[in-house]
Structure 1
Amino acid sequence: MSVIHILEAELELTGPGAVAAPETTTVGSVLRPDLPLARDGWGNPYLPSTSLTGSLRQHASKDRRRDLFGDVFKDTDNSDKNGREQTTAIASTIRVLGTRLALPEPPVMRRRHTAIDRHRAAAKAPTLHDRELLPPGTGLTCWLRIDTETTECPLVDEVIELLGAWRPRIGGGRTTGYGRAELFTVRHRVIDLSTRDGLRHWLTVGGPQVVDDQATVVYDRAQQAGGAPDEPYLFGRPLEFRIADALHIGSGTFAERAGRQTGVAQVLRDHEDTPLVPGSTWKGILRARVEFILRSVGIGNVCTSVKDGVAGSCGACVVCEVFGWTEHPGTTTHDDRERTKSVGARGRLLFADSPIRKGSVKVRNHVAIDRVFGGARDEALYAEETVEDGHLALHIRHDGAVPNVLHAALVLALGDLADGAIGVGRGTTRGYGTLAAQPATRDWLAAERATAVNTLRAHRAAAIPAPAHAIEEVPA
């Protein structure tokens, strides 16, 4: 191989994202987040090149993954003397040399999450955890190397075309809006070691400087009409809502004034200081409502996520199939079916964060009431920020097939959200969290409701066998 091809790809995070490194937490590190960022030997945040390699491999067609990225597999044509299949390893043709981040200010953001108890509909203890994230706008550069015999190679052209159609998703939390990125530029530097200039450049220049001004731009997002297409919307459009009363989704922090905490609980905000509804909230609310709807209409084999007071998804029902699931020790399936041997699966629905536009943030004061005297309880005054009069868009995309029964239940769940039957965030039983659909979304939900109801009725009728007395006997 006398010719080295270096491809320099420049990307940018369009949503918060990170590769977590929980193994770096140590005993006594109570001030550190539960899911800290992966960091290099100097303590700087970084994204491992293995994450990009996995994302790019998944993007390639199945019949080309082994040739481009290598593989380790059981070879049926290669057996030992006892007839056992041997493990065969094929090295990757593409080498990912490394990555480098260009961090904005502030370079790291933190976000807290908690699970909800399905019985009490309140935060479940002790599930509160926080994680470090890279903010949107973080630049990421990675370098790929391909060795060939000639300067013109179809393999290199194939990889460039693969990069151009790539919509990378980096790190965990993909189904709740994390790790979204866009490819902006790809530069190609050919280094011919059979020439004096090529050999001198390879031996005397190292690191990112290998891709110098002799590199050619082979992909430019500005010339590609917006870059690679995003995952399609489940309903063909985003759904628009407005806040009907007030909304509070807490960040777990308190406002400060003059360096001291004021005791005012803050709402969650994005990197632009805009209040938002996170994708994890959308996913949790709609999943719980879809489960409720399917159980209510008598469609069996639906995960309740709770059995005998123990939390955990079954991993076998249509809800787990579409929304994803994670393993919880000691759990069983809701109908004692044999649990899948997998430790979890990523969902097919993708929920993005929803910034709240044109909303006003106000502070509301509350106080607990003494049950005996009927007056305000001492030292029970507290305050919290709420968002009022804003509007937001719900983005639900998918990267896999969604069964009709789940699609129909999700339409009805969104109708319940628009009707105020379910709320978002904290205090939904005392006037918080009610949303109303904007006219276009309201009309679409009304038009889709009849189809969704008929789909569930047909599915239920097909799943319930006819009674024995309804079967007519055929005379001999």
Structure 2
Amino acid sequence: MSVAHILRAELELVTAGAVTAPESLTIGSVLRPDLPLARDGWGDPYLPATSLAGSLRRQAGLTGRAEALFGNVRPGDGTDAPESETVAIASPVRFLGTRLELPQPPETRHRTATDRHRAAAQPKTLHSRELMPPGTKILLWLRLDTPYPDAPLLDELVDLLATWHPVIGRGRTTGHGQTILTRVLKRTIDLDSADGLRHWLLNGGPELVDEHAAIVYDHEKDTVPNPLTELFGQPMQFSVADALHIGNGAFLDRPGRRTGVFTVLRDHDDLPIVPGTTWKGVLRSRCEFILRSVGLDACSSVGENTGPCSTCALCTTFGWTENSGTPRNTPPDDETTKSTGARGLLVFADTVIRDGTRRIRNHVALDRIFGGAAKGALYSHETVEGGTVTVSIRHDREKPIPDLARAALLLALDDLATGRLGIGAGTTRGQGTL
């Protein structure tokens, strides 16, 4: 027999995020998001324990203890086995499962890419994604068996959890999936004792961590700094000079009115936002334009017959991806350098538009022949007039940003602040100026 240590790690989403499951789509899924939430057999949102296991193993790898805590499969090094043989080491830490507690239902967000030459939406790039709201509670259960109640490996696991800042799912460079570890509980069950064996046999699942569990980590007493830091020292605040419309593809019918209205994108608290995807897309596009204007190397990451080069400073900083899995400058017959892309170094968070006024703006197209209003062409947009937005651009302090990309980004932000660059819809007709 042995001593079983059951740990419950409690995490909380501070930004919207999710692990998606596009493989769950079927022929009849045309009304579902392109990237739906992973769900269990009962249809509830689900977070695979493997996602957290990979994140925690990577954290252990920073201290060189990944194999000792989570096992490994590798070639022999000549001491434990010949180099011609494979060594398989089982993980002493078991990930038992997860449970999610959502404060609100998931939301669906739409996004599209912008053509670098036409400055309009790129055809066939519109897609949607389902996200869990901030404040979602994630419970993770771990198990570690040791010969004795007090074991160095257990203390090492608790210390590792205390330095853990996991990110859930995709969209990490646009601020999605950021979490904090709020608490870790530990219940030690001695299977050689009558009380321990009784608790083990009469309880199961989450009930193994009961009121007798000890708190071994508390976020309120956390002294470990977040690995992300502001790129320019602090967030940047902008004011909306005119009106702003960033939509989510939602169209709201208005009873008694001739037309509905295209609404602005809102977060889970019903506040209008500028998503991190907008900041990242607009600023990267401008950085590409700036570098090409002065004769420096910068690819056109979106557009017809173009694609990311995977080697320039902007691809390194903002990341790159390609549907074919092959960088643009890779020879067609080169099978060794194919990749699906690389994650960027910068994180652009969603931004709430504060102190603004929501208004409905009506528009109508003109008849090019008669000069009057075209029949059936009336439409309406919801906009946010005035207000302020705070742009947060963060990066891992351990991963330096290329000087060329930093300089281009600073010039792009200056273009944003002086009105040479706008965001959202209608930037050529009096909207989107900061």
TM range (shorter): over 0.9
Across the aligned residues of Structure 1 and Structure 2, the Cα RMSD in angstroms comes to: 2.3
Q: 1:335 to 1:419 in 2, by over 3 A?
A: farther
- Distance in 2 between residues matched to 1:84 and 1:371, nearest whole Å: 77
Q: Is the 8 A contact 2:254 2:260 kept in 1?
A: no
Deviation of residue 88 (structure 1)?
3.0
Aligned to 1:348: 345
Counterpart residue type for residue 425 of structure 1: G
Aligned to 1:312: 307
Deviation of residue 312 (structure 1)?
2.4
Counterpart residue type for residue 373 of structure 1: F
- Distance in 1 between residues matched to 2:348 and 2:94, nearest whole Å: 32
Aligned to 1:29: 29
Aligned to 2:166: 168
Q: How does 1:352-371 map to 2 (within 5 A)?
A: 352-371=349-368
Counterpart residue type for residue 356 of structure 1: I
Match of 1:77, SS state, is coil
List alignment gaps of at least 5 residues for structure 1.
436-476
Q: Is the 8 A contact 1:255 1:261 kept in 2?
A: no
Asked if 1:270 is matched to 2:267, the reply is yes
- Distance in 2 between residues matched to 1:297 and 1:40, nearest whole Å: 52
Aligned to 2:299: 303
Asked if 1:210 is matched to 2:201, the reply is no
Aligned to 1:155: 153
Counterpart residue type for residue 416 of structure 1: D
- Distance in 2 between residues matched to 1:259 and 1:108, nearest whole Å: 30
Q: How does 1:217-236 map to 2 (within 5 A)?
A: 217-224=215-222, 228-236=225-233
Task: Please point out which of 134, 139, 142 is paired with 2:140.
Answer: 142
Q: Is the 8 A contact 2:149 2:188 kept in 1?
A: yes
Deviation of residue 390 (structure 1)?
0.8
Q: Is the 8 A contact 1:164 1:228 kept in 2?
A: no
Aligned to 1:413: 412
Aligned to 1:426: 425
Q: How does 1:239-388 map to 2 (within 5 A)?
A: 239-257=236-254, 262-300=259-297, 302-306=298-302, 309-329=304-324, 333=328, 340-388=337-385
- Distance in 2 between residues matched to 1:160 and 1:22, nearest whole Å: 34
Describe the superposition over 1:426-465 as per-residue Cα deviations: whole angstroms up to 9, x where unpaired: 1111111111xxxxxxxxxxxxxxxxxxxxxxxxxxxxxx
Deviation of residue 188 (structure 1)?
0.7
Deviation of residue 409 (structure 1)?
1.1
Q: Is the 8 A contact 2:115 2:302 kept in 1?
A: no
Describe the superposition over 1:147-190 as per-residue Cα deviations: whole angstroms up to 9, x where unpaired: 11111112111111111121121111111111011111111100
- Distance in 1 between residues matched to 2:257 and 2:74, nearest whole Å: 59
Match of 1:125, SS state, is coil
Counterpart residue type for residue 412 of structure 1: L
Aligned to 1:74: 75
Counterpart residue type for residue 326 of structure 1: T
Deviation of residue 78 (structure 1)?
8.8
- Distance in 2 between residues matched to 1:343 and 1:334, nearest whole Å: 14
Q: Is the 8 A contact 1:304 1:334 kept in 2?
A: no
- Distance in 1 between residues matched to 2:330 and 2:294, nearest whole Å: 18
Aligned to 2:45: 45
Q: Is the 8 A contact 1:49 1:96 kept in 2?
A: yes
Q: 1:259 to 1:336 in 2, by over 3 A?
A: farther
Deviation of residue 84 (structure 1)?
7.9
- Distance in 2 between residues matched to 1:251 and 1:210, nearest whole Å: 44
Q: 1:427 to 1:202 in 2, by over 3 A?
A: same
- Distance in 1 between residues matched to 2:141 and 2:362, nearest whole Å: 53
Counterpart residue type for residue 134 of structure 2: P
Deviation of residue 95 (structure 1)?
0.9
- Distance in 1 between residues matched to 2:10 and 2:225, nearest whole Å: 14
Calculate the TM-score normalised by the size of structure 2: 0.93
Describe the superposition over 1:391-422 as per-residue Cα deviations: whole angstroms up to 9, x where unpaired: 01111111222111111111111111111111
List alignment gaps of at least 5 residues for structure 2.
none
Q: Which has the higher contact order (CA 8 A, sep 6+)?
A: 2
- Distance in 2 between residues matched to 1:260 and 1:365, nearest whole Å: 12
Q: Percent identity?
A: 57
Structure with greater helix share of residues = 1
Counterpart residue type for residue 51 of structure 2: S
- Distance in 1 between residues matched to 2:75 and 2:373, nearest whole Å: 71
